Structure 1
């Protein structure tokens, strides 16, 4: 069973996508991208989905197998792939862990209720070079750990 790197490309910054591609080549791991037809993604292995809510997440989850690595900003999708015994990391290098993902989902639900009630929350912060270095370090560690003999 060959491990693959799957990118939730709908909201993945270009710099993070390039890091994933470079590390995929370095570790000889196939890199798959998944995005709705509204996004133009240059990729040798790309899954195009419709633009219905959660369609990309469903396609990523369905493509994920045990041992795969998924890059996503979506905490719900991270929880799904962790349940499939895959690894998940955010584009800014946060490694999602089974013991902390429930807290993230609870935080997401609280913020959703707050916004639905008329409240406003901050959007994502601007991507930095530190995010790139953290993603590279996290993916390198995960991919090295997955190599045979390690």
Structure 2
């Protein structure tokens, strides 16, 4: 059985805490992907996993794409990453709340 997870491109995401709280209400796992440059000692609840990658350009994007599966939810403000994620049939949201799709990605 496959479980849907929420992935956050979290280096610059202002909605991490809101998403973590809402995901808990719905029994969803949250995966935060960030560079070591944004390392935090903050302790998150058990349903949250934090993955750190090196600070190389696009390192977080590459890791997200390795982990992202069909029907997962990705939150990002990166249009390039959003475009790739749509190709994997993920649901992709901007942190301002709108959903990326094949009609508005350009």
Normalised to the residue count of structure 2, the TM-score between the two structures is 0.89
Distance 2:9 2:71 in 1: 17
- Runs (5+) with no aligned partner, structure 1: 104-150
Distance 1:48 1:98 in 2: 29
Normalised to the residue count of structure 1, the TM-score between the two structures is 0.64
* Equivalent residue number for residue 37 of structure 1: 36
* Equivalent residue number for residue 69 of structure 1: 73
Q: Which has the larger radius of gyration?
A: 1
CA RMSD of aligned residues (A): 1.0
Distance 2:95 2:104 in 1: 17
How far has the Cα of 1:98 moved from its partner? 1.5
Higher relative contact order (CA 8 A, sep 6+): 2
- Runs (5+) with no aligned partner, structure 2: none
* Equivalent residue number for residue 87 of structure 2: 83
For residues 14-70 of structure 1, give each alpha carbon's deviation from its aligned partner in whole angstroms, at most 9, with x where no partner exists: xx1111101110110100000000113434401110000000111111110000000
For residues 77-112 of structure 1, give each alpha carbon's deviation from its aligned partner in whole angstroms, at most 9, with x where no partner exists: 0011110000100111121011221x2xxxxxxxxx
Matches within 5 A, 1:130-145: none
1:53 matched to 2:57? The reply is: yes
Structure with greater helix share of residues = 1
Structure with greater strand share of residues = 2
Give the secondary structure class of the aligned counterpart of 2:64: helix
